[in-house]
Structures are given as C-alpha cells and as structure tokens.
C-alpha cells in the first residue's frame, strides 16, 4: 500500500466520522422535537482495490443515513389512535346530551313533571279552587317550556356538532394536501438514492394526526411516496390529494365522500366517526325518545281531561294542544291558556268532585296503554338511564383506549425516539475514531518526511 493510499484511508475516516458526528449531533438537537425519529449513519467499508496479491482496503464510507422506524408500530399506533379519537369524541358528545337532560336535578324534566302531577293532586283536594287551577296551568306551561327547551338544546347540539364535523373535514383535507406536498418533496429529494429523513418525519406526523380523525392505512410506494387509504378509498396518492366532503341523506344519515370516487362511506373509527354518529343517531334517537315522552304526556292528559267537566260546565276540553305531540311543538290548549275555568277537576260537575284531578295525578306511575303498559315516569327514567349507560360505556372505552394508545406510544418512542445517553456514547466513539484517523495522517506525514530525509 502506498503512502497516498494511506492518506486516502485516513481522509475517508475523517470525512465519515465527521459526518457521523453531525448525525449524532442532529439527534441530540432534536431529542425533544415531536415526531422526530432517531437517525443512524450506515457505515460501510469502501470498495477495496484488487491487486495480484489480493484486495487492499480503501477506508470507510457512509452508505446512507436511515431512520430507526418500526412500520409495524406505526400501523398499530394509527389503528389505536383512530379508536381513541372515536371513543373520546363520543364520550364528549354523549356527555353534552346527558348535561342537557341534567338528571337528577331539582330543575330537570323529571322534577318539572313531578310538580305538574302534584298540582293535580292539590286540585283534587280542592276541586273548586281557582288558585289550585292557576297552579295547574302554570305547571302545565312549565312542562311545555321544559320540553321546548330540551328540543331547542338538541338543535343547538346538532348545529354545533355539524360545525365541528365541517371543521374536522377541513383539517383532514389540509393534512391530505400537506402529505401530498411532502410526497413530492421526498420523491424529488430521494431521486439520487439518499433518504429525506426529516421530510419523512414531517409526513409521519401529518399521517398520525390524520389517523386520529379517520381510520388510516398507509402503503409506501417504491419511489418513497406514501399512498393513504381511508376506509377502502385512496385519499392521497403521490402528489394528488382528493378532497373529502360530507353529505347528509334525507334520512339524516351523515356519510363521507371522496371527490371523484363513486359512492360514500361511513367511518367506523376516528373522531369524525363519532361526530357523524352523533348527527345520524345520537341526537335524533334521544330527541325521538323525548318526543315519545312528550306525546305520552299530551295524549294521556288530554284523554282523561276530555272526560271531565269544567267550572263553566264544558266537556271534551283538551288541556294541551292536541297537535303538539313533540317536545318542540308542545303547548297548552288555547282554552286552557285563555281561562283557568276551562280546567276540569271532576267528571260529574259536582262541586266536591275531584276524581278526574286525582286520576291525572296518578298518571305519573300508572301504566298507559299507548306506552305498552309503562308509565310516563318509567318511560322517561328508561331514557335517562339508557343515556347514562351509553356515557358510562363510552367513558370506560375511552379510558381503556387511552391506556392502549399510551402503551403503543411508549413502545414506539422506545424504538424511534432519541436516547441522550446512547447518543453521547456514539458521540464519544466517533470522536475517538476521528482522532485516530487524524493520527494516521500524522504517521503518514512522518513517513514521508523520513523518506525525504533519506534522499
């Protein structure tokens, strides 16, 4: 081996370990950077010389700088992230609906209905009392207002959820455009065979954020770009990101559509799936159940009240407006609003007859034919209990999913993240190798000087 070859080997070692120190320093600098993946320089021996006496080494080189990334853990993390996004959002949405009912509470619908039934009981004790009739009418108005208020708040939640869904879809489209743009940059940067590690980290962060919104699968292409699939539809392919839109059918079912691709789909995980479920079933189902309670109150009270005799001797009077069979339309009948004398307490018209008022007071717990033998109280309690169970289940699933996601995140951080202790060991190792290579240059210089002195 010539002295020139010796200097070449030393030069390759100096350049390689200097570059390795740069990679290690880059890791240390980004130890706390969210989404950063630890990088490693892949050191390989230079292609040796072939001589008649065998091969002679030419030093060391860096074949590539690669990321310490586990694609299996990435896929697992994104799967758990989608489930976590769904259950967390579902818990929040159901919690809002539960807060609207506000049960148990002295100001909730149950307490308002109890006060209404109690007012009829008081009227039964004083069938001729106009004051007791005034209380009945006031409590009837309070019941109607309570149902109206619930319906209004359901509408507000639906509007807010629709706005959240629109914002979430907008965020998804922005992430898709970002991923498509990074695909272009990565393909361009890696055209010479080198890895664009920092750009890949940025793309992975965007994909991670996307996975919390929708179930996401990633298929990496040979040219380095990532194809992103949501559901069974290709959302991002290379530098192309197809816009995602929301559509609502006439049946109130919300679904997603990828522009330019036939058909629509309903996601089964991710935050957006919880928002679409809330709009498609959550609010409509609860509203339907409350409407059923309102319809039972109106129909059962009116059916009994029509059999009674008012203070003016009238019969067949409705207490509530017969057409107001939903929570949003419930109101007192016009005659009830105009005069408390149109409220009946008995069926005989006699001064001391309070039998009708007593029967109306009993509607709280008496089974109704229109409800399949259940009482109005039981129907409302079932509604509140069912919603409470849904909230409890969603909270349990959200906590469970948070633990699973945290476990996968810890494992991924262990595989991908930067350990300062490890980097310091590598830094010292490369520093010593660099110093040794510099010593080779000194030795080669001394050898040259020795030869020159011999001339």
Convert the pLDDT of each residue in 79-108 to its tens digit. Answer: 999 999 999 999 999 999 999 988 888 888
Confidence at residue 53, expressed as pLDDT on a 0 to 100 scale: 67
Confidence at residue 128, expressed as pLDDT on a 0 to 100 scale: 87
Distance separating alpha carbons of residues 395 and 389, to the nearest angstrom: 10
- What average pLDDT does the chain have? 88
Give 267's pLDDT tier (boundaries 50, 70, 90). Answer: confident
Confidence at residue 266, expressed as pLDDT on a 0 to 100 scale: 81
Picking from 5, 58, 43, the residue whose alpha carbon sits closest to that of residue 429 is 43
Whole-structure pTM value? 0.85
Give 60's pLDDT tier (boundaries 50, 70, 90). Answer: confident
Confidence at residue 255, expressed as pLDDT on a 0 to 100 scale: 79
Place of tokens 């690669």: 66
Confidence at residue 207, expressed as pLDDT on a 0 to 100 scale: 94
Residue ranges of alpha helices (H) inside 214-354 are 271-277, 283-305, 334-338
Give 452's pLDDT tier (boundaries 50, 70, 90). Answer: confident
Convert the pLDDT of each residue in 144-161 to its tens digit. Answer: 999 999 999 999 999 999
Average pLDDT over residues 222-244: 88
Confidence at residue 327, expressed as pLDDT on a 0 to 100 scale: 93
CA 49 and chain centroid, separation: 60
Burial group, residue 448, by CB count within 10 angstroms (0-12, 13-18, 19+): middle
* DSSP state for residue 196 in the 8-state scheme: -
Residue 258 tokens, joined: 């990828």
Give 250's pLDDT tier (boundaries 50, 70, 90). Answer: low
Confidence at residue 294, expressed as pLDDT on a 0 to 100 scale: 93
Convert the pLDDT of each residue in 161-210 to its tens digit. Answer: 999 999 999 999 999 999 999 999 999 988 877 788 999 999 999 999 99
Q: Percent of the chain having pLDDT more than 90?
A: 48
Average pLDDT over residues 25-33: 90
Confidence at residue 245, expressed as pLDDT on a 0 to 100 scale: 87
Convert the pLDDT of each residue in 402-417 to its tens digit. Answer: 999 999 998 998 888 8
């Amino acid at each position: 081996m010539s002295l020139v070859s010796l200097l070449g080997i030393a030069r390759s070692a100096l350049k390689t370990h200097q570059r390795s120190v740069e990679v290690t320093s880059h890791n240390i600098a980004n130890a706390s950077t969210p989404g950063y993946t630890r990088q490693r320089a892949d050191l390989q021996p230079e292609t040796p010389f072939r001589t008649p006496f065998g091969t002679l080494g030419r030093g060391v080189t860096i074949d590539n700088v690669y990321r310490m990334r586990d694609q299996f853990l990435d896929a697992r993390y994104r799967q758990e992230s989608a489930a976590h996004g769904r259950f967390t959002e579902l818990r929040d949405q159901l919690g809002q609906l539960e807060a609207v009912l506000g049960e148990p509470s002295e100001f909730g619908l149950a307490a308002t209905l109890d006060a209404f039934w109690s007012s009829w009981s008081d009227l039964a004790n004083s069938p001729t009392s106009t004051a007791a009739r005034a209380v009945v009418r006031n409590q009837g108005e309070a019941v109607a207002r309570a149902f109206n208020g619930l319906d209004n708040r359901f509408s507000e939640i639906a509007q807010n959820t629709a706005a959240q869904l629109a914002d979430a879809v907008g965020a998804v489209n922005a992430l898709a455009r970002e991923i498509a743009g990074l695909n272009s940059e990565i393909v361009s940067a890696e055209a010479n065979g080198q890895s664009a590690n920092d750009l890949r980290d940025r793309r992975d962060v965007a994909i991670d954020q996307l996975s919390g919104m929708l179930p996401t699968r990633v298929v990496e292409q040979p040219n380095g770009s990532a194809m992103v699939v949501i559901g069974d539809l290709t959302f991002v392919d290379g530098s192309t990101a197809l816009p995602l839109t929301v559509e609502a059918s006439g049946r109130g079912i919300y679904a997603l559509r990828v522009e330019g691709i036939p058909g629509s789909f309903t996601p089964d995980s991710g935050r957006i799936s919880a928002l679409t479920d809330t709009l498609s079933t959550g609010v409509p189902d609860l509203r339907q159940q409350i409407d059923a309670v309102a319809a039972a109150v109106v129909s059962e009270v009116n059916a009994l009240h029509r059999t009674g005799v008012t203070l003016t001797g009238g019969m067949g009077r409705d207490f509530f407006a017969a057409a107001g069979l939903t929570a949003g339309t419930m109101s007192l009948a016009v005659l009830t609003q105009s005069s408390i004398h149109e409220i009946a307490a008995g069926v005989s018209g006699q001064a001391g007859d309070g039998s009708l008022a007593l029967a109306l007071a009993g509607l709280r717990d008496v089974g109704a034919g229109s409800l399949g033998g259940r009482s109005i109280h039981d129907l409302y309690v079932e509604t509140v209990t069912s919603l409470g169970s849904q909230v409890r289940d969603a909270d349990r699933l959200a906590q469970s999913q948070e633990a699973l996601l945290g476990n996968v995140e810890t494992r991924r951080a262990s595989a991908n993240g930067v350990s300062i202790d490890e980097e310091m060991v590598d830094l010292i190792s490369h520093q010593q190798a660099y110093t040794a290579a510099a010593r080779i240059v000194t030795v080669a210089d001394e050898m040259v000087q020795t030869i020159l002195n011999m001339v």
